[in-house]
């Protein structure tokens, strides 16, 4: 009888260890970057001269765009991240080729997205090609030229529908200004970035630290004419990707202000990022991937936005290393890990040779368009790879 009890107890102890172990972060990262390299080569074979990938048609046909499209820097940026991880010379050559395609962008009529386009591409290749910094500095100056001291923000678009529109996405483009200000000891670029970020804190955020998508300013005296959520469910709703730009933008600005030695500004931006993070941690689904809009009713269960999840994961990963709040550091890193594990699952990660060469499935561009709904998008891939590198 004693022997029987012993073997029953031993079995109870040993049985759980027979279950499948959770994949280590290192193994997950190797797996994802292997798929990413394969997909990146596939994508290159599909692109013509001067084309950049955009998304897929319903029938799987690749939709391309030109270098003026706001996302033109994300595919070359992903190539640089894949190279950074694996040091593959073939991937480096592809990154150089697709980055070089953006070398005439500065001669075009541009908007605030030149920060996305240039920093994600040229910026990620700068360690290999430091000579490209001169071009990046010119692009930063062109971005700063969109700043007006009356509203104290960088104008997003030249669109007659609004007097002086500024979207929360614009926070992301400040990274180009801050990095070039640091490299060239240029206080003017830095002050433009600081002014934009401070004004955005005042006018873009609600009391709960959710953000509007667009604020329309008066160019005459700088007062706020109106606030909207153009790509979300309603003006008073929390559009998921807008919240992702916010947490990423202020985490980045806290980092850059710290590197500049400006502790007062760093504390302001870090405080904002921490509040946004707390808001998001209280609203994200269990698997970490947000729905298209946090407040939209009757959202189909499948309508998640992998792009917003990837952007948040990258921001959470960085914030976990910046905040002095140990509990928040733990929670943000745990959420980043949860998000990348979900995105690395078969539900979101493409099989090699599928998905038109894109890495992730199930992103939402603009549901109100409607355009790019439940499709792959280049920026989802980019920030997913960045999140994995940061978690390493």
| pLDDT beyond 70 at 10 | no
Establish whether 305 is a catalytic residue.
no
| pLDDT beyond 80 at 96 | yes
CB 171 within 8 A of CB 215: no
Q: Give the chain's radius of gyration (CA, Å).
A: 22
Residues above pLDDT 90, as percent of the chain: 90
- List, for residues 117-171, the tens digit of each pLDDT value: 999 999 999 999 999 999 999 999 999 999 999 999 999 999 999 999 999 999 9
C-alpha of 98 from chain center: 20
Whose tokens are 């959770």? That residue is 22
Q: What are the structure tokens assigned to 18, written together?
A: 């027979």
* Cβ contacts of 258 within 8 Å, gap of 6 or more: 266, 322
Establish whether 208 is a catalytic residue.
no
Residues 266 and 264: their CA atoms lie apart, in Å, by 5
Q: Classify each residue of 266-283 as buried b or exposed e, where b means 16 or more C-beta atoms within 10 Å of its C-beta.
A: bebbbebbbbbbbbbbeb
Please name every residue paired with 56 in a beta bridge, in sequence order, or none if there are none. 62
| pLDDT beyond 60 at 294 | yes
pLDDT band for 297, please (50, 70, 90 cuts).
confident
- Residue 74: exposure state from Cβ atoms within 10 A (0-12, 13-18, ≥19): buried
Q: Is 356 left (phi over 0), alpha (psi -120 to 50) or beta?
A: left
Q: Where are the domains of the chain?
A: 35-391
Please name every residue paired with 62 in a beta bridge, in sequence order, or none if there are none. 56
Assign domain 35-391 to its CATH architecture: Alpha/alpha barrel (1.50)
CB 274 within 8 A of CB 325: yes
Axis crossing angle, helix 326-343 with helix 378-391, rounded to the nearest 10: 130
Q: What are the structure tokens assigned to 161, written together?
A: 């529908």
The pLDDT value given to residue 301: 62
pLDDT band for 13, please (50, 70, 90 cuts).
very low
Rounded mean pLDDT of 286-311?
90
pLDDT band for 19, please (50, 70, 90 cuts).
low
Q: What are the structure tokens assigned to 238, written together?
A: 């929390």
- List, for residues 339-349, the tens digit of each pLDDT value: 999 999 999 99
pLDDT mean across residues, the chain:
94
Among the options 44, 111, 113, 381, which is catalytic?
A: 113
Residues 306 and 309: their CA atoms lie apart, in Å, by 5
The pLDDT value given to residue 58: 83
Among the options 169, 305, 374, 381, which is catalytic?
A: 169
Q: What are the structure tokens assigned to 252, written together?
A: 């980045």
The pLDDT value given to residue 216: 98
Q: What are the structure tokens assigned to 90, written together?
A: 């073939």
CB count, 10 Å around CB of 47? 17
| pLDDT beyond 50 at 389 | yes
Residues above pLDDT 70, as percent of the chain: 95
CB 160 within 8 A of CB 116: no
The pLDDT value given to residue 3: 47
Q: 203-207, 210-214, 280-284, 365-369: lowest mean pLDDT where?
A: 365-369
- List, for residues 176-192, the tens digit of each pLDDT value: 999 999 999 999 999 99
Q: What are the structure tokens assigned to 5, written together?
A: 């009890």
Residue 64, H or E segment: strand 62-65
Residues 303 and 324: their CA atoms lie apart, in Å, by 35
| pLDDT beyond 50 at 4 | no
Q: What are the structure tokens assigned to 41, written together?
A: 């080569």
* Residue 297 or 340, more confident: 340
Closest CA relative to residue 328, chosen from 367, 276, 380:
276
Q: 16-25, 220-229, 269-278: lowest mean pLDDT where?
A: 16-25
Rounded mean pLDDT of 378-386?
98
Residues 336 and 251: their CA atoms lie apart, in Å, by 14
Rounded mean pLDDT of 42-61?
93
CB count, 10 Å around CB of 262? 15
Distances (CA, A) of 22 to 17, 87, 313, 326: 11, 27, 19, 25
| pLDDT beyond 80 at 41 | yes
Q: 42-51, 246-255, 309-318: lowest mean pLDDT where?
A: 42-51
């Amino acid at each position: 009888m004693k022997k029987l009890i012993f073997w029953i107890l031993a079995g109870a102890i040993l049985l759980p260890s027979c279950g499948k172990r959770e994949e280590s972060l290192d193994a997950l990262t190797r797996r994802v970057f292997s798929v990413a390299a394969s997909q990146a080569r596939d994508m290159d074979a599909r692109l013509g001269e001067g084309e950049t990938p955009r998304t897929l048609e319903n029938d799987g046909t690749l939709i391309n765009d030109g270098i003026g499209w706001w996302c033109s820097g994300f595919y070359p940026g992903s190539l640089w991240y894949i190279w950074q991880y694996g040091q593959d010379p073939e991937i480096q050559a592809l990154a150089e080729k697709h980055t070089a395609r953006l070398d005439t962008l500065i001669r075009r009529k541009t908007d605030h997205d030149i920060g996305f386009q240039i920093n994600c591409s040229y910026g990620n290749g700068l360690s290999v090609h430091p000579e490209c910094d001169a071009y990046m500095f010119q692009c930063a100056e062109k971005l700063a030229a969109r700043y007006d001291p009356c509203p104290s923000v960088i104008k997003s678009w030249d669109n007659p529908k609004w007097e002086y529109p500024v979207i929360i996405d614009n926070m992301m483009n400040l990274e180009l200004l801050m990095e070039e200000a640091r490299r060239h000891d240029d206080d003017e670029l830095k002050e433009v970035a600081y002014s934009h970020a401070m004004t955005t804190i005042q006018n873009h955020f609600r009391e709960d630290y959710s953000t509007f998508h667009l604020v329309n300013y008066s160019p005459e005296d700088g007062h706020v004419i109106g606030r909207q959520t153009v790509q979300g469910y309603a003006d008073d709703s929390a559009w998921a990707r807008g919240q992702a730009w916010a947490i990423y933008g202020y985490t980045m600005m806290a980092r850059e202000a710290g590197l500049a030695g400006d502790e007062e500004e760093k504390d302001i931006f870090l405080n904002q990022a921490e509040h946004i993070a707390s808001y998001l941690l209280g609203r994200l689904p269990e698997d970490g991937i947000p729905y298209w809009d946090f407040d939209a009713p009757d959202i189909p269960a499948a309508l998640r936005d992998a792009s917003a999840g990837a952007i948040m994961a990258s921001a959470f990963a960085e914030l976990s290393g910046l905040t002095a709040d140990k509990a928040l550091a733990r929670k943000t890193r745990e959420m980043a890990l949860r998000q990348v594990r979900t995105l690395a699952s078969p539900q979101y990660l493409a099989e090699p040779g599928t998905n038109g060469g894109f890495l992730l499935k199930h992103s939402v561009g603009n549901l109100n368009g409607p355009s790019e709904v439940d499709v792959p998008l280049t920026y989802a891939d980019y920030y997913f790879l960045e999140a994995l590198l940061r978690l390493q």
